[in-house]
Structure 1
Amino acid sequence: MTRFRILLRQIWTIARRDFVATVFTPTFLIFLLAPVVMGSFGAIGGLGANAASKGADAKTRIVAIVDPARGTDMAALDQRLRRLYRVSDEAPPVLQTETPAADPARQARARFDDPRMDVVAVLYGPLATPQILHTDRSARAGDYLAALAEQALRADRSGVAPLSLATQTVVSRHAPSLRGASASGFFAVFALFFLTLLLAGQVVSGVAEERGNKVIEVLAAAVPLESVFFGKLLGTFGVAVLFLVFWGTLISQASMLMPANFAAGIATLTPAIGLPLFTLLFFAYFTMAYMLLGAVFLGVGAQAASVREIQLLSLPITLIQVAMFGLGAVAVSKPDSWISTFAAIFPLSSPYYMAGRAAQSGGLGLHALALLWQAVWVAIFIAVGVRAFRRGVLQSGSGSFRWKRRARPLDNAVDMGVS
């Protein structure tokens, strides 16, 4: 058996061991259903915030203090202008018209102190020179009342009835829109960040736990440490792929149950490179992002000797992931700037940015080069982590890199003891 085949066999043995030890446990079911728990808390919080927001919006008003005849015209114009706003847009508050009192200015100021409703803007006076009062955060509501007064004056000349009747026809694009490509780019960066944040952290706890119970030292005595690290990385990656397959299958089957507006929003995500090829590239960059972060976490986690040290390492690990997400998102929004070049070259942010770039522009040559560049850094991170583990934990001298063993009996021993 050649040395390369021995190396692959050792890596496969370690990967299979870690995969089986993780998947065939009761706790793996909890890990697999973690998005349900996270989504439930998010949904509960979102529903509560939405209910509170709708309750406040239902009592929010803008007021026009005008004559009754003028108020009828302004109400009709208000209904026409509101057709320009969609459900997702921030439409102005409900318009309420009132008859002027003896002192309209005092009447307008008194409306802001009404305990029955939340008035954010009030118009009074002649429509040619209206006076508009609004709160410090309701400048848009004041602008809307000004536009309504302008339209009311124009209606005096032409009438309130519409002067034209447009026919609108829906057409489909043959090429992805810039907005759809940009949205797809940000979605790719966010999805990559979410998946790596959820899945890559398990590498740290696994290697730190085995260091605490001396298992990793037994493995290091049987096979090269490089094989141990790379095998553990592949094993946890296999768990991540199983997680993706499980949830990808559920989401694809549940897409038919999604609301129409949500499905329409998903349909606007049109990658410039095409959906099938973009899916392949996204998985490739997820693989590289997981491998890069996993290699870093392996090296860091191998230095932790207790659960407390793992907890102390959780914060900087999370900050690294958040920083890479922020860098990738900014670079995707500015594709021709120096920050995009830096994000493409820096190994930890390269998968994030390149996944977003795949959604915004075509061409495969740059992606092949980026994947090769990221794979080189995976090997570098593993090698550095192994050397640090030899020097700091095993204290085995120089910590030189070793990818081969001279003694075949140890290879046979790991097959019997680990598989």
Structure 2
Amino acid sequence: MSLRRTLRQTMTVARRDFVATVFTPIFLLFLFAPVFMAGFGAVGGLGAATVAGDSADKARVVAILPPGDARIMAEADRRLRTAFRRDEAPPKLLTLTPGADPAAQAHAAFEAKEYDAAGVMYGALDRPTVLFGPLDRRTARYLGVLALETLADQRLGAGMPTVRVEEVRLSRRGASQGGQNQSAFLAVFGVFFLTLFLAGQVVGTMAEERNNKVIEVLAAAVPLESVFLGKLLGMFGVAVLFVVFWGTIAGQIGSFLPPTLAAAMGELTPAVGGPAFAVLFFAYFTMAYLLLGSVFLGVGAQASTMREIQMLSLPITIVQVGMFALSSAAASRPDSWIATAAELFPLSSPFAMAARAANSPALWPHVAALAWQALWVAIFITVGARLFRRGVLQSGSGPGWLSRLHRRPSEGY
């Protein structure tokens, strides 16, 4: 009976916070925040792409050699470029007829204003000299390969062999190691992005109720642990609504992807299989939100002003980025001590275990990991509630330890 009453009180608080958050005009701004983020990102990306496109149009690799060799090199350049993707191809080739001083001509070409020379080659094809900038070593090596192809074509002439390649596209029956590693990183990034975007709002949930004394009324009627858990579940309900809304839209957009992009996405096959991975991903997002949210709720409950809440934003972000970095390292080395440490440390465990679901087909470790994470959620909520009860409620909603720590340097003045 006591457990049923506790659950009922917890869900009452959760429903109260959920309704108070969702049924407001501000929630629409929060719900459509990705649209604004994507809009600003598209504007910035368009500007950057325009600048990069202009730079790419002006970039050139320059070869100073006689007209006969220039024709052979142009043909070799055309053949070699078929091995590059469009965004990875070297700059366009520009050939110049050598003058009286090819070295001086090369230096002048490197400093030319009509184009941006990524590399300039001059001299004999078997011992060419290549000038290049600090970031253009790959271009210099491409010019070396181009000189080799030109020299081979020049010497072999009609004896140059031709190769006709029969290209056969296959689809893998199972997940590749590269696809699993990419799936693991995307799982870590997905959990990190969602918790970074959604869990931070838990920090300020109790500041307003502390100021208007509502928290004292709740604490008198409901155990403080139920208040904390109820608020956490209420905000998690808001997060789930956000994820379901945008997940539905993303699922519809996915059906319009080009075939090549859809095939590339098909390579991202997790080791546990698609349906099991989807369930585990949502479970680990839930645990990541509850773990980070319970810590942030306990710390944020000590803040009584917006200034103190703003002071907490940077440490919270640093903690989340640290968990992301640790789990990303674990995703790339699934059987290392880093992976074990990330899977055991409570705050990074959901991230690392989501990566494990992509790298390993075993399911039993996930049962143990979810139980381990749930235990730490209970610990964090209990500790946060006790700190709030001792540090704030005993002094009549006075300042918590954060406020006392902030004011201590001014004592005695």
8 Å contact kept, 1:390–1:396: no
Q: What are the superposed Cα offsets for residues 264-299 of structure 1, whole Å, 9 maximum, x if unpaired?
A: 432332111111110000000000000001100110
Question: Structure 2 CA distance, aligned partners of 1:301 and 1:261?
Answer: 47
Residue 64 of structure 2 corresponds to 65
Which letter maps to 1:134?
Answer: F
Residues 1:233 and 2:226 are matched in the alignment: no
Please report how far the alpha carbon of residue 339 of structure 1 lies from its aligned counterpart in structure 2 after TM superposition.
Answer: 1.3
SS at match of 1:76: helix
Q: Which residue of 1 aligns with 2:106?
A: 108
1:144-179 C-alpha deviation (Å, 9 max, x unpaired): 111111111111243376511010111110111111
1:78 aligned residue: 77
Alignment-derived partner of residue 345 in structure 1: 344
Cα distance, 1:260 vs. partner?
4.6
- Offset of residue 132 of structure 1: 1.3
Tell me: CA distance 1:87–1:259, structure 2 relative to 1, closer, same or farther (3 Å). Answer: farther
Aligned partners of 1:3 and 1:301: how far apart in 2? Answer: 29
Matched residue type, 1:371? L
| Equivalence for 1:42 | 41
Question: 1:218: which partner in 2?
Answer: 217
How many residue pairs get matched?
395
CA–CA distance in structure 2, aligned partners of residues 159 and 80 of structure 1: 16
Query: What's the Cα RMSD here?
Result: 1.4
From the superposition, tell whether residues 47 and 259 of structure 1 become closer, same or farther in structure 2 (CA, over 3 Å).
farther
1:205–1:301 contact (8 Å) kept in structure 2:
yes
Residue number in structure 2 paired with 1:154:
152
Letter in 2 for 1:382: I
User: Which aligned pairs between 1:148-297 and structure 2 lie closer than 5 A?
Assistant: 148-159=146-157, 163-297=162-296
Q: Is the 8 A contact 2:280 2:354 kept in 1?
A: yes
What CA deviation, in whole Å up to 9, does each residue of 1:285-343 have, x standing for no partner?
A: 00000000110011011101011111111111111111111111111112222211110
Gaps in structure 1 of 5+ consecutive residues: 398-419
Name which structure has the greater RCO, CA cutoff 8 Å, separation 6+: 1
Task: Give the letter for the 1:196 counterpart.
Answer: T
Is the CA contact (8 Å cut-off) linking 1:14 and 1:228 kept in structure 2? Answer: yes
Greater mean deviation of Cα atoms: 259-268 or 93-102: 259-268
Residue 61 of structure 1, CA deviation = 0.6
Instruction: Name the counterpart of 2:409.
Output: none
Unaligned runs of at least 5 residues, structure 2:
397-413
Letter aligned with residue 50 of structure 1: A
For residues 318 and 246 of structure 1, the distance between their equivalents in structure 2, rounded to whole angstroms, comes to 25
SS at match of 1:395: helix
- Structural mapping, 1:360-399, within 5 Å: 360-395=359-394
Aligned-pair identity (%): 58
Q: TM-score, normalised by structure 1?
A: 0.92
Q: CA deviation at 1:255?
A: 1.6
* Structure 1 stretches of 4+ moved >2 Å: 156-162, 256-268
- Kept after mapping to 2: 8 A contact 1:203/1:297: yes
Alignment match, 1:409? none
Match status 1:53 vs 2:60:
no
- The CA distance in 1 between the partners of 2:155 and 2:268, in whole Å, is 45
SS in 2 for 1:100: coil
CA–CA distance in structure 1, aligned partners of residues 207 and 327 of structure 2: 29
Q: C-alpha separation between the residues in 2 aligned to 1:300 and 1:259?
A: 46
Amino acid at match of 1:343: A
Q: In 1, are the aligned partners of 2:72 and 2:154 still within 8 Å (CA)? A: no
Provide the TM-score with structure 2 as the length reference: 0.93
Q: Could you say if the C-alpha distance between residues 257 and 112 of structure 1 is closer, same or farther in structure 2, counting changes exceeding 3 Å?
A: same
